[in-house]
């Protein structure tokens, strides 16, 4: 029987505004309801797609308990009103959960098992802190399989500062200030809002409200304000709440399809999935993960960073982004990188963030027909990195 690989495209992406954990926007909102809102909005924005044509719903969550458990891909699909014939599943690769949901279900499209899928992620860190209910095997420490610092992400970021002594706290703070400035400008220019879906929220104290924009950004952040912040992971360290992503709540979703199916159904084909790669690193320096993941992908494709026109890298910690840039010989303020800012300002609801990177890349591709290739990449807890290579379907530059 013949097997034919098909081109896979990113059709659309939607996300909730990101909230602060604890007493933030979604303190009294269920995680699965955030996913439901995203799925319903994806279907509303793409009326040419019959609901029964969705072949799979893959939703990631890092802490798969409570209201973001119960095989959330399937349960959210039912709650969103998709036909009972549409299956779904849950996935966990910590911060790269949504990214993995895309690559896994996208591979299914290429193989021919699916025509159309919904892939995304959710994290309600206010209800389910990272690692809640987890019982790490004592062998990790007793047999010294990992350094104790590997189990605390902030400590791994401090370790990365040790490994790259040229990346000072001042450089990390300067990067964080630029991220805040970029997000503020992107909001002012109307770049972010198109990907957001309004979410009805409620509070016993304040009643009902509407979440319409990200809660974490801190416009007006300065080097002076960041310099005074404490370093909670190490005395006289480098990592602070100002140069790292916070604890956040939010959900994302992407619509992927075979390129020939988008033509059949009249759907957009905003960018084409070219290749993806995951790699492992020492867990105690997990932030360096995007480097080998990207190198592995480049080697397989026979390309270099010179051929990449846009880069969306998750800002779990400023040092992690700077280590990536330094490795590839890119300036701290390279114009190709995170043009609209990143997680340091916008927030990082763990398993959902990968699709946010894709949404922003797709929007930037639409504005840049001169750019052919772009990357979405991120570090992953327990020592991993993931990178996806995308091709701009609006590219007008020839071969």
Tokens describing residue 148: 């104790």
- Longest alpha-carbon distance in the chain: 65
Question: What's the CA gap between 249 and 25, in Å, rounded?
Answer: 8
CB 217 within 8 A of CB 181: no
Catalytic residue selected from 124, 128, 161, 348: 348
Residue 3: both structure tokens together: 């097997």
Q: Known catalytic residue: 236?
A: no
**CA 66/CA 18 separation, integer angstroms:** 20
Give backbone dihedrals phi and psi of 277, rounded to 5 degrees, phi first. Answer: -150, 140
Does the annotation mark 95 as catalytic? yes
Phi, psi of 345 (to 5 degrees): -95, -45
Collapsing DSSP states into helix, strand and coil, what is residue 220? coil
Q: How far apart are the C-alpha atoms of 271 and 298, rounded to whole Å?
A: 19
- Six-digit token string for 112: 């021919």
Q: Of the listed 124, 128, 161, 379, which one is catalytic?
A: 379
Catalytic residue (one of 95, 124, 128, 161): 95
Nearest to 73 by CA among 93, 56, 55: 56
Query: What burial letters (b/e) apply to 242-263, b meaning 16+ CB within 10 Å?
Result: bbbbbbbbbbbbbbbbbbebbe
Which residues are 391's β-sheet partners? 272, 373
Per the CB < 8 A criterion, the answer to whether 269 and 256 are in contact is no
Q: Are 76 and 118 in contact (CB under 8 A)?
A: no
In this structure, are residues 174 and 221 in contact, taking their beta carbons and an 8 Å threshold? no
Q: Compute the residue count for the chain.
A: 399
Residues β-bridged to residue 244: 317
Q: What residues are annotated to the active site?
A: 95, 348, 379
């Amino acid at each position: 029987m013949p097997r034919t690989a098909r081109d896979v495209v990113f059709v659309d992406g939607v996300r909730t505004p990101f909230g602060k954990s604890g007493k933030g926007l979604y303190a009294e909102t269920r995680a699965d309801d955030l996913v439901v809102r995203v799925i319903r909005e994806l279907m509303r924005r793409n009326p040419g797609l019959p609901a029964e044509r969705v072949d799979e719903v893959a939703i990631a969550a890092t802490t798969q308990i409570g209201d973001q458990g119960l095989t959330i891909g399937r349960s959210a699909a039912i709650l969103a009103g998709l036909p009972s014939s549409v299956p779904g599943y849950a996935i966990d690769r910590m911060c790269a959960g949504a990214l993995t949901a895309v690559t896994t279900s996208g591979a299914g499209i290429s193989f021919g098992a699916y025509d159309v899928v919904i892939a995304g992620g959710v994290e309600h860190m206010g209800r389910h802190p990272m690692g809640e209910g987890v019982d790490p095997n004592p062998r990790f420490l007793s047999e010294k399989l990992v350094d104790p610092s590997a189990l605390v992400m902030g400590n791994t970021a401090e370790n990365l500062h040790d490994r790259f002594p040229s990346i000072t706290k001042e450089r990390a703070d300067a990067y964080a200030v630029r991220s805040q400035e970029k997000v503020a400008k992107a909001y002012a220019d109307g770049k972010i809002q198109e990907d957001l879906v309004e979410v009805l929220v409620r509070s016993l104290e304040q009643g009902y409200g509407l979440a319409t924009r990200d809660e974490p950004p801190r416009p007006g952040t300065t080097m002076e304000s960041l310099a005074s912040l404490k370093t909670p992971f190490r005395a006289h360290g480098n990592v602070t709440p100002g140069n790292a992503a916070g604890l956040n709540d939010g959900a994302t979703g992407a619509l992927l399809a075979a390129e020939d199916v988008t033509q059949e159904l009249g759907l957009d084909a905003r960018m084409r999935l070219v290749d993806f790669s995951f790699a492992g690193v020492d867990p105690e320096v997990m932030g360096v993960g995007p480097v080998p993941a990207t190198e592995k992908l480049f080697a397989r494709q026979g390309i270099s960073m010179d051929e990449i026109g846009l880069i969306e890298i998750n800002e779990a910690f400023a040092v992690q982004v700077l280590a990536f840039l330094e490795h590839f010989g890119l300036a701290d303020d390279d114009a190709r990188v995170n043009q609209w800012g990143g997680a340091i300002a916008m927030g990082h609801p763990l398993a959902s963030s990968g699709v946010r990177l894709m949404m922003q890349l797709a929007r930037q591709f639409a504005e840049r027909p001169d750019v052919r290739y772009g990357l979405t990449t991120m570090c992953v807890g327990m020592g991993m990195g993931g990178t996806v290579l995308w091709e701009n379907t609006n590219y007008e530059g020839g071969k």
